Structure 1
Amino acid sequence: MGNPSSNAPHHRDLVFGPEADGAFRKGLACVRQALADWQLTAPHDDALLIAAELLSNAVKHAGGPTRLSIDHVAGHLRIAVTDPSPTPLHRAHRRPDEDGGRGIFLIDQLAAHWGTRPEEVGKTIWADLPVSAGETGSGRRSRCACWRRTASAT
């Protein structure tokens, strides 16, 4: 899918402040709102699970998220979370009886593609989900108050 830009049919950006209190809850609420506004029903549960895992990983392991971006373009939905930690993502091998540590495994199973990219400060982890032609919504931009459009590429 490449890096969708702000000329994508749909683009949302949520920037978290230095005190990212409630980032997980706010991020999921805005993903739900974007999916509803864009009338994307088929990837709804998978998109929410991926967003939850990416946000949770940023909170637990990387000092909290600094940005959440969602792009819907060319039959794909991209969810990306940026965090301040430069530490590369690694897959943990867990025994079946261990708690936690399966988020990246879930993302790997649900997403068509996923990856990481370094940023000036920290890294971004992104995941793409396919959206079929009949489930792409109205093509209008949403005006959810918790999001701000940006002109930067994601």
Structure 2
Amino acid sequence: MSDKEFEKAKVEAKAKARKVHDAAKTIAMEGKPINRDWLDDGNYENTNEATKTWEKCTIHLKAKDARSYSEWVTITLDDGTVLLKTYYYISDYSGDFDVSTFRTGAWVDRLITYAEKDVAADKERRKQAELQEKLKPFSEIDF
């Protein structure tokens, strides 16, 4: 593999890892956005964490917002094998996405699909259930 091909493969892997990072974040947050309220529920440094189990993996998200915003995502198999370890950083002046571990495989596309379809569908079901619960008292009124 030439240097040019290696650099191209590295860029492609980083882009795929970013998609996995975002999908894992969606799963860990159950489709909810990371917002100020969630971050403020954390400790004094506005750091908060979310952990979810997916298939035979544990997805761990940690986010911090102090002078700059940072996210760490780690996906670990039950046996301790790290499949993904990423770091996303953004400040007023710059941003960076770093991949320290990324083991590709069939799980990558399954995780992305799960985040895009199943988590979104579950979020919509919860939203509809909440709406039905709020409207319930009105359905008992005779007009």
TM bin, normalised by shorter chain, reads under 0.3
Q: Whose radius of gyration is greater, 1 or 2?
A: 2
Higher relative contact order (CA 8 A, sep 6+): 1
Which protein is richer in strand relative to its size? 2
TM-score, normalised by the number of residues in structure 1? 0.26
Which protein is richer in helix relative to its size? 2
